[in-house]
Homo-oligomer: A and B are copies of this chain.
Amino acid sequence: MAELALNATSTPQQARRLIRDGHWQQHTSGLAAGHAQANLVILPEAQADDFLRFCQANPKPCPVLDVTAPGDPYPRSLGDDIDLRYDLPTYRVYRDGKLSEERHDITDLWRDDFVAFSIGCSFSFEEALIAEGLEVRHISERRNVPMYRTNIPLIGSRLFGGEMVVSMRPFTAAQAIRAIQITSDMPRVHGAPIHLGDPAQIGISDLQQPDFGDSPVIHQGEIPVFWACGVTPQLALENAALPLVITHSPGHMLITDIPNHRFKFG
């Protein structure tokens, strides 16, 4: 093959084909622009129903885009030819709540009781913000988004619970109002912010010390704006210490066929 590089102009089908064939094992950030990427969580059916209830009760941090039938590796609502056993660049396997291994293919781990959750990702709304002319600071600074544990309680289920994790993007007041408008129209990819302004009000003691990601670059006069973050369900899963959970590796997402603008309609 002459050319094995992927970029923003690749189609989702092209991207998944190279990933599937083992030619792309890097981050998916910026690939197949305009198409939704998704977080992946795979659980045995024994815990999956409880996880689905947990997600439904906490839709802002855990916006479920697709749930497969037990044993079915195909998230049929997200594309015609997606196979969750090998269409992501890198997977993480957790055993008893601990990271056990990273893999590029989980075919030989697949079980006929596995249920796969595809969960909306902030990449979609960040693309919408940029399309409206807003600067998303961590992207222009080529850093990872800063993420923070908060004191905002989740609605617990039998197995899952804890507090919300948020991501933060700084904006001027006028930009923050516009960002609220834009993301309010995208409830399936975290929707509107859950807080803005004083970080202490949601239990964040130092904005410069995020719990995940890189420290923020905030300009004079900007307000921190906080969105519910997809790391929330990952932490809830780790805390539940289940026998076996498989997820995507951070940044190594599922590339779907869904145009991001479709989320503007809920």
Is A194 interfacial (CB 8 A cutoff)? yes
Q: Which of A26-81 contact B (CB under 8 A)?
A: none
Taken together as a complex, chains A and B put the C-alpha atoms of A145 and B193 apart, in Å, by: 27
By beta carbon, the residue of chain B nearest A172 is B201
Partner pick for A184 among B184, B194, B201, B223, CB 8 A cutoff: B184
Q: Which of A147-194 contact B (CB under 8 A)?
A: 173-174, 176-177, 180-181, 184, 192-194
Instruction: Please tell me the size bucket of the interface on A.
Output: 10 to 19
By beta carbon, the residue of chain B nearest A194 is B174
Taken together as a complex, chains A and B put the C-alpha atoms of A197 and B221 apart, in Å, by: 10
Q: How many copies does the complex hold?
A: 2
Residues of B within 8 A of A103 (CB): none
Partner pick for A196 among B177, B184, B198, B201, CB 8 A cutoff: B177
Is A195 interfacial (CB 8 A cutoff)? yes
By beta carbon, the residue of chain B nearest A226 is B173
Taken together as a complex, chains A and B put the C-alpha atoms of A180 and B175 apart, in Å, by: 12
Given contacts A177-B180, A181-B180, A184-B181, contact A221 B201 (CB under 8 A): yes
Asked if B173 contacts A181 (CB within 8 A), the reply is no
Given contacts A184-B184, A198-B221, A201-B221, contact A192 B173 (CB under 8 A): no
Most buried by B among A180, A184, A192, A194: A180
Residues of B within 8 A of A198 (CB): 173, 221
Partner pick for A192 among B181, B192, B194, B223, CB 8 A cutoff: B181
Asked if B176 contacts A196 (CB within 8 A), the reply is yes
Asked if A174 contacts B197 (CB within 8 A), the reply is no
Residues of B within 8 A of A174 (CB): 194-195
Taken together as a complex, chains A and B put the C-alpha atoms of A184 and B223 apart, in Å, by: 20
Residues of B within 8 A of A221 (CB): 198, 201
CB distance from A68 to the nearest CB of B (A): 33
CB distance from A202 to the nearest CB of B (A): 8
Partner pick for A201 among B173, B181, B197, CB 8 A cutoff: B173
CB distance from A153 to the nearest CB of B (A): 14
Taken together as a complex, chains A and B put the C-alpha atoms of A173 and B192 apart, in Å, by: 12
By beta carbon, the residue of chain B nearest A193 is B177
Interface string of A188-228 (1 = CB under 8 A from B): 00001111111001000000000000000000010100000
CB distance from A83 to the nearest CB of B (A): 38
Chain A positions within 8 Å of B, measured between CB atoms, are 173-174, 176-177, 180-181, 184, 192-198, 201, 221, 223
Q: A173-B198, A177-B180 are in contact. List 4 more A-B contacts (CB 8 A).
A: A173-B196, A176-B196, A177-B193, A198-B221
